[in-house]
Amino acid sequence: MSDPISRQASRSYDLYITISVCTFALVTTTVLRIAAKVKYRLSLGWDDYFIILGTCLNVVANGFNFQATASGFGRHAQFLTFDQLVKAEKYAQIAVIVAAIAIWAVKISICFFLLAIIKGTHAYFVWFIRIIMGFTTASQFVVSLLWGLQAKPLPKLWDPRIPGTRDSAKGFLVVIYIYYGNCLRHPTPTTSFRELD
């Protein structure tokens, strides 16, 4: 018989539902968009290609989130073995960077869509969108760089047993909060790992 405290401490069921619904929604909307263009014989543009890329990357990120949840993400650390904590942290960290690149692709898709709408209008509108695209791409590069430089070697980021160094995630999180325009906290089941170094 399973421990009732363990069952109450787990939110994996909620995570599975959320990930599944989000994955279904993003795949469905992208397929419908492309299918509509094909049906009415409209050519695909850069906005379509980037939204397809963003969708594919989101599906991959959600796959890693599924793996993280299966490994223990969503449960209190006291109910997990150390190996489960490491696996959950590993998949959650990979999901973060893949999702970040996916969001970049979606933002670039929106910019291309806006460029198509304002085609033939004032040139400064076009340059404004292009500047946004450049800023978004540069920001994503910084985000990816900071993520990759959090630990040396990188596996140290999720496994404190590996020899190496790990920096504070504060700089990475600040850039993430600014870049995505929100202050949502991204909790991980292995926050206590930082106390083990």
Closest CA to 65 of 102, 98, 27: 98
The residue-averaged pLDDT of 144-166 equals 88
In the structure, what pLDDT confidence band is assigned to residue 48 with cuts at 50, 70 and 90? very high
Tally of CB atoms within 10 A around 26: 19
**More confidently predicted of 121 and 125:** 125
Residue 152 is encoded by which pair of tokens?
């040396």
- Identify the sign of the CA torsion 26, 29, 30, 31: positive
- Closest by alpha carbon to 87, among 97, 77, 100? 77
- Over residues 49-69, the pLDDT tens digits come to 999 999 999 999 999 999 999
The pLDDT of 70-83, averaged and rounded, is: 82
The mean pLDDT of 86-105, rounded to a whole number, is 92
Report CA torsion sign: 78, 82, 84, 86: positive
